[in-house]
Amino acid sequence: MPTPRTAVLTAVMLAALAFIPAGAARQPSSFDALAKASLAQIDGRARLRGLRDSVEVIRDRWGVPHIYAKNTEDLFFAQGFVQAQDRLWQMEMYRRTYEGTLAEILGPAYVSHDQLVRLLKYRGPWDDREWTSYHPEGKKIFDAFANGVNAFIAQAGERLPVEFKLTGIKPQPWTADIALLRTQTAMPTGNAVAELRLAADVVRLGVDSANKAARPSPYRDLVVPSGVDLSQVTAAVRAGLDGMVTGVIRPELLPEYRSLAGADASANTGVQENSPGSNNWVVSGKLTASGNVIVANDPHRNVANPSIRYIVHLNAPGWNVIGATEPVLPGVAIGHNGRIGWGLTIVGTDQSDVYVEEVNPANPNEVKFRGQWEPLRIVRDTIRVKGAPPVAVAYKFSRHGPVFHEDAANRKAYAMRSTMYEPGNAGYVSALRYHALDNCRQFLDAQVYYKAPTENMICGDRDGNIAWQASAASPKRPNWHGRLPVPGTGEFEWDGLRNDLPREFNPERGWIATANHDIHPQGYDPPLFFKNGPEDQRFRRIADVLVAKRGFTIADFEALQHDAYSAPAARDIPLFRGWQASDPEVERARAQIAAWDAQFKRESMAPLIYRAAAPAIPAEARAPGTSAVRRGELLQGAIARALDTLRAEFGADASQWRWGRRNTSQLPHTLVKAYDIPPVERHGGAGFVAAVGATYREIMDMGNVDASVATNVPGQSGQPGSPFYSNLVESYGRAEYFPLAYSRAAVERAAAHRLALVPVR
């Protein structure tokens, strides 16, 4: 008798076989009609194989699903089902990107991507060391989630998301390990590439000049490891870690849809983004108006359509947690469980090293370690390629990790050692453990399981505690800093993982904040990482606000998450006061800047004028002894040139000049322009607390969790035509939030759609 899982997979494959486009006979009338015919069911009843009991899914007015199940397996089965309803196309492209199966649907140009991804992927062991690292019932949870995704594929039949219809691509059956892919973040390879680039700079500039150019924060002298010839670290070596796709994935439309799309099929240029950066802070009750701890987080990555994050509420015996995950992941990665709230920003811990292996001249598949030749492990693979023969590949692995470049002339092989090859190092999913935590002390204890990606994990609880740790699997390097490649012959080896990670618990100042800055405490050594400068502009602004007052409210923190204050502009604004320009247009522009508050708000003209004029402000105008009259003479020319620039860019009608026209987020659909979401003008930009990259924001009152708020752009659903496809865009641009309903009463008040998931007996 087949198991529920086997039955689900069989149904998925049958549904996939049935989903074969019928060409011109099924010519659509419009893309709108195609989208509406592909929408997932969000009301009524859905009968599903694999469920033990019925599950209730309430979608609120903002598209957040609140899932009520009677047991853990059904809870995560339903989560997989619901997230696939809203995001299956996004999930399929994610899976193909990070499993290395893009060439199968996109052709020969993607073979190099697939080859690199497969070389770098985690290869086990697939046992309890992996599964239970994330949760004691990890295998059950990941299996249930995958079964839920497959149940949606089977249930949807030909009503799969419209992108599958447009391209003819069939979603592949989901498996438990997809949530544990390691290559979804570029950080492990980024650390290795940074070593190779610094090696090239050392050869080109010398050690001291290369270190000065790198601006390491925290500062340390740069020491070249003995036994490695950096002159051999050429561009060809660096190319071994290059080739992974980072842009938008665009499969080709089927012919009947290409003709309908016309030029629109290729009109999208992708998301425009210039200011990634994350912020989080937690404030104790002694600084808030309510006396409750408030936790705020806006983790940033590229603004995208659909959002990279998905808000979900999971409720079952032992579970009641709400917040954001990523569509392919079970659980909640950022949010609260009613007792603790948490958030994250990237730390930047160096988790990877390049090892230069010495190759046996008599055998290219052996390398030296501590005086002995040892064999490389060789794994053979085949990459399927659309429109071309399969490509046979062979991957080599030393004891340190995958070999990404072989230099036969110098008898060297370059391998990358990374924490991502250790069990329990998949990104974000160890947050599955947080549903059971009662306070921030337990949260700090649970950080032993949080290994990737490297995150500033903050916590606030209903008892009034606040906490932080720079969490990640952090290699212990006893005799080097990890900034340059090292020989693989045994002199530079990790000594396990560090257990001295920086943390705080209830600091006297009453608040904790991070913003991707250099978080090392005074005297902490050796460092966890070296940034290119302290990168502390956003942190300093947050700190200035948090020390300036008491009685903070959620509204205050909404304003701080959208803060676009420019300290350089604030220093320059007085230069524009105390004089008048003779030219009326220049005078109007001067007056705009003189009356400005140094906030780069989307509706404001002053920041647009200032940003155009600032590069032309002469040093004499900023000199303390310069008279107002002389300063005016100097600044009029800078303003006049700025006005010429703005007329050329935005037209002669100055009433239409505003910062938002310069700072706009694009939200194109990946395949056809008909599904594009109009651009949204934004506050802030690069370097501001209101950096553009935030798509999910949360602010949580731990004494009144129903007062918590959130936002997610452009909407919860990735399905064009859904009421939740773009419903959050304008409120997002206006810096508005919606309630993060948590109690059953609050959920009922916000309910908009109800779907009962019913088991097939």
Neighbours of 137 (CB within 10 A): 16
Checking if the pLDDT of 266 tops 90, the result is no
Mean pLDDT, rounded, for 17-45: 71
Over residues 480-485, mean pLDDT: 98
Contacts of 235 (CB under 8 A, 6+ apart): 200
pLDDT score recorded for residue 12? 38
Question: Cis before residue 218, ω within 30 degrees of 0?
Answer: yes
Please state, as a whole number, how many other Cβ atoms lie within 10 Å of the Cβ of residue 309. 24
What digits encode the pLDDT tens for the residues 659-699? Answer: 999 999 999 999 999 999 999 999 999 899 999 888 899 99
- pLDDT-derived band at 346 (thresholds 50, 70, 90) equals very high
Residue scoring higher pLDDT (309 or 243): 309
Which range among 23-32, 525-534, 553-562 shows the weakest confidence by mean pLDDT? Answer: 23-32
Beta strands in 272-387 (DSSP E): 279-283, 294-298, 310-316, 319-325, 334-336, 340-346, 352-360, 363-369, 372-375, 377-385
In this structure, the dihedral spanned by the alpha carbons of residues 501, 505, 511 and 515, taken in order and rounded to 10 degrees, is: 20
Taking only the tens place, the pLDDT of each residue in 395-453 is: 999 999 999 999 999 999 999 999 999 999 999 999 999 999 999 999 999 999 999 99
What does the CA dihedral 282, 288, 293, 299 come to, rounded to 10 degrees?
Answer: -30
Q: What is the mean pLDDT of residues 162-188?
A: 89
pLDDT greater than 50 at residue 4:
no
pLDDT bucket at 267, cuts 50 / 70 / 90: low
State the Rg of the chain over Cα.
27
State in Å, rounded, how far the first CA of the chain is from the last one: 14
Q: Is 671 exposed, middle or buried (0-12, 13-18, 19+ CB in 10 A)?
A: buried
Query: Can you tell me the mean pLDDT for 564-591?
Result: 96
- pLDDT over 90, % of the chain: 88
Q: Does residue 714 have a cis peptide bond before it, meaning omega lies within 30 degrees of 0?
A: yes
User: Quick one: average pLDDT of 249-256?
Assistant: 92
Residue 6 confidence class, pLDDT cut points 50, 70, 90: very low
Mean predicted confidence (pLDDT) in 152-159:
95
Across 618-625, average pLDDT: 94
User: CA–CA separation, 577 vs 91, rounded Å?
Assistant: 54
DSSP character for 694? B
pLDDT at 517 over 60: yes
* For residue 245, pLDDT beyond 70: yes
- What pLDDT is attached to residue 325? 98
Quick check: 665 and 678 in contact, CB under 8 A?
Answer: no
Residue 95: predicted pLDDT: 96
The pLDDT of residue 263: 57
Q: Given pLDDT bands bounded at 50, 70 and 90, which one contains residue 186?
A: low
How confident is the model at residue 302, as a pLDDT? 84
Return the pLDDT at 48.
98
pLDDT interval class at 183 (50, 70, 90): confident
CB 698, CB 709: distance < 8 Å: yes
Q: Which uninterrupted H or E stretch holds 711?
A: strand 709-712
3 state SS of 50: coil
- Residue of 181, 180, 95 lying closest to 142 (CA atoms): 180
Number of other CB atoms surrounding residue 706 within 10 Å: 15
Place of tokens 């740069």: 222
Q: Is the peptide bond before 125 cis (omega within 30 degrees of 0)?
A: yes
Give the predicted TM-score (pTM) of the model.
Answer: 0.94
Listing DSSP states for 602-639 in one string gives: TT-SHHHHHHHHGGG--HHHHSTT--HHHHHHHHHHHH
CA distance readout (Å), 200 to 211, 282, 337, 460, 484: 12, 41, 48, 44, 10
pLDDT of residue 277: 85
Determine phi and psi for 629, rounding to 5 degrees: -65, -45
Stretch 291-301: mean pLDDT: 95
Outline where 100-137 has alpha helix (H): 103-106, 111-120, 128-134
Least confident piece of the model among 87-101, 374-388, 683-697, 726-740: 683-697
Q: Any idea which residue has 């005078």 for tokens?
A: 587
What pLDDT shows up at residue 27?
47
β-bridge pairing 65-68 and 55-60 = antiparallel
| Residue 184 banded pLDDT, cuts 50, 70, 90 | low
User: Residue 632 phi/psi, 5° resolution?
Assistant: -60, -40
Helix crossing, 4-18 with 138-156: angle to 10°?
30
- pLDDT given at position 541: 97
Domain positions in the chain are: 187-248+351-421, 567-662
Query: How far apart are the C-alpha atoms of 184 and 426, rounded to whole Å?
Result: 9
Proportion of the chain above pLDDT 70, given as a percent: 94
110-124, 131-145, 236-250: which has the minimum mean pLDDT? 236-250
CATH architecture of 187-248+351-421: Roll (2.30)
CA distance 562 to 299: 13
Residue 163, helix vs strand vs coil: helix
**Tens of pLDDT along 57-79?**
999 999 999 999 999 999 999 99
For residues 614-626, average pLDDT: 94
Please provide the average confidence, as pLDDT, over all residues in the chain: 93
Paired with 397 in beta bridges are: 377, 402
Nearest to 119 by CA among 394, 326, 474, 357: 394
pLDDT at 370 over 80: yes
